[in-house]
Structure 1
Amino acid sequence: MTSTTSNPKSYFDIHTSGIGYIQRVREVPVKGGRKATPFLACTVAALVGPAQNPTRRYFDVRVSGAEAKQLVMPFIGIDDPQQRPLVRFRLGDLWIDPFRRPSGDPAASMKARLLKAELLERSALDEIEYHELLTRGIGYLNNPRMIPNGGDPFLSCSIAALAGPVDEPEYRYIETTVADDSAQHLVQRCIQAVEAKKKVLLAFTLNDMKAEAYVRSKGEHAGEVGGSLKSKLMRIGLIKVDGVQVYPLESTASASEDAPTSEETVNAEDESGGPQPTAATPAPVEEPAQAASF
């Protein structure tokens, strides 16, 4: 299967999908006089973890999708927990907003655009054993390292996820714990390239996105509240080192579950910075023991 690059993407996005409740539906006024049009907003309380006792991750979102607006609009002003709609959702353009609570404590909220929402019956929860909150996108690998963790070390890395126009993207920095064995192996293979200051681009899948607030202790912004996104790295669908695809090596591997969107976006990113090789190397996939690094 070959990917088509005649219509490259013009926009990088970070998509987060899962199941959760819609609450605090409201119209937000916009400054600008009588012609200013308020926008529709709500909170998505995403469910994560075991179905019997899930955690909730809250996203403050602007409702962007036309169908999502139709679904959400009737719930303006209704916030009875028993009437909150249960939906399967997709968010885009994830970012973090740090702030200080009235008590003075630091806090941070996750913000995004609600692109799609599909109404679910609450009985649908009976068929779910574990809730996943999946985030997919592409970004650059930074600072892969082992964390001691009191004698139980784990692999961690930072991903600078790309968001916004291809010709002038922004970055969303996400600290991740590498939770999957295959992803651990691939990140370890990238360590030499990162240390050599090469650009290592990943198509990634994360689970359980959350926000963490802190108070800056150094520099001109000391004392101000900052925030970081944290998640678990579950899957790597594609790797490019300085624009050259090094994983997967089989051309057919690009037809995997979430690779088409990711690979098209990677091609768009390459084209924005000048021609770079994107063809897969015509060689068999190496076994883990034979491939120490890229």
Structure 2
Amino acid sequence: MSESKYFDLHITGLGYLNRVREVSPKKGASFYACDIVALHGSADAPDKTRFDCRVSGQEAERLIKAAKSYVDEDRKVLIGFKLGDLYPDLFEYQKGEKAGQTGVSLKARLLRIAWVKVDGETVYTASADSTQEPESSAA
């Protein structure tokens, strides 16, 4: 049996954590999801890009579950993150002034959280051994 090979595309950055939720699909196991509003560009006036993320991995899920209470209290939760498997998802607005228009949502898997800050105070930093990259299986 031949070994599968993959090419990885990862997005790393920092952003605000929002909409932490447990998703229970009709088929399959439940999972956690969240939105990350990533910051990029000038530090004086950063641009923002929203990612709708499925949480992957036990450590990332543990951290998201722990951060959910802060998000629910409307506290500012800033995280360092790594995303993978980015893809666009088209949808149609159902309500509001954009009703009937097509929109796009950027979907990804939240693979890793490097650090978490709540209201500017660091509450989690990944250990040095968890920051190592997995060996690439790309050709």
The TM-score, its normalising length taken from structure 2, stands at 0.85
What's 1:165 paired with?
42
> Which residue identity is paired with 2:37?
A
Aligned residues: 130
CA shift digits 1:56-101 (9 cap, x unpaired): xxxxxxxxxxxxxxxxxxxxxxxxxxxxxxxxxxxxxxxxxxxxxx
CA RMSD of aligned residues (A): 2.2
Secondary structure of 2:41's aligned partner: strand
2:16 to 140, 160, 170: 140
Shift of 1:183: 0.2
| SS state at 1:152 partner | coil
CA contact (8 A) 1:248 1:254 kept: no
Unaligned runs of 5+ residues in structure 2 are 134-139
What residue is the counterpart of 2:118 in the other structure?
241
Q: Which residue of 2 aligns with 1:198?
A: 75
Answer 1 or 2: higher relative contact order, Cα 8 Å, separation at least 6. Answer: 2
Please, which of 221, 225, 228 is the counterpart of residue 105 of structure 2? 228
- Structure 1 position 175 matched with structure 2 position 64: no
Identity of aligned residues (%): 35
Match of 2:63 among 186, 198, 201: 186
Taking the aligned partners of 1:196 and 1:254, their CA distance within structure 2 comes to 32
Post-superposition Cα deviations, 1:180-218, rounded to whole Å, max 9, x if no partner, equal 110000000101111111111010001110001111121
CA drift at 1:249 = 7.5
Residues 1-294 of structure 1: matches in 2 within 5 Å? Answer: 129-150=5-26, 152-248=29-125, 253=128, 256-257=131-132
CA distance in structure 2 between the partners assigned to 1:191 and 1:255 by the alignment: 22
Corresponding residue for residue 263 of structure 1: none
Which structure has more helix as a fraction of its residues?
Answer: 1
Partner of 1:4: none
With normalisation by structure 1, the TM-score equals 0.42
SS in 1 for 2:69: helix
Instruction: Give the structure with higher Rg (CA).
Output: 1
